Amino acid sequence: MTVAVEPADGAPVFVIHEYRDVAPAARDVRTSGAVIVDVRPADDEARRRVVDFLAGVGFGIGTSPLRLAEGVYFLSGERTPTRSEHERFRP
């Protein structure tokens, strides 16, 4: 797993390679208020499991993951993604 912090007030980005890498992203939703999870490097099975896990986390905080791009999801119970967060992952 790789964690990159978005400049300024942006959400931290978690690049997930395996399913076991997703737990820190879920914990960080509580501390930072928002996370971006990039599952593009993971295999298909891990991607499905991570997206299901994120849906469960989202349910727990009263929201659901928002897809920013193919394989990239934004999760927050407090805000919507900024323009720069959207544009960073556009193809």
Which listed CATH number (3.30.110.150, 2.30.30.100, 3.40.50.280, 3.40.50.2300) goes with 2-88?
A: 3.30.110.150
Which secondary-structure segment (H or E) carries 69? strand 66-69
Statement: residue 6 has pLDDT above 70: no
> Domain segments of the chain: what residues?
2-88
Q: In whole angstroms, how far apart are CA 27 and each of 14, 44, 61, 70?
A: 12, 23, 12, 23
* Cα 81 from Cα 2, distance rounded (Å): 20
pLDDT in tens, 37-64: 999 999 999 999 999 999 999 999 999 9
Q: What token pair was written down for 40?
A: 């593009």
Calpha distance 18→20 (Å, rounded): 5
Going by C-alpha positions, the residue among 66, 31, 9, 41 that lies closest to residue 21 is 41
Q: Confidence band (pLDDT; 50, 70, 90) for 17? A: very high
Question: Which of 40-49, 62-71, 81-90 is the least confident region?
Answer: 81-90
Q: How many CB atoms lie within 10 A of CB 83?
A: 7
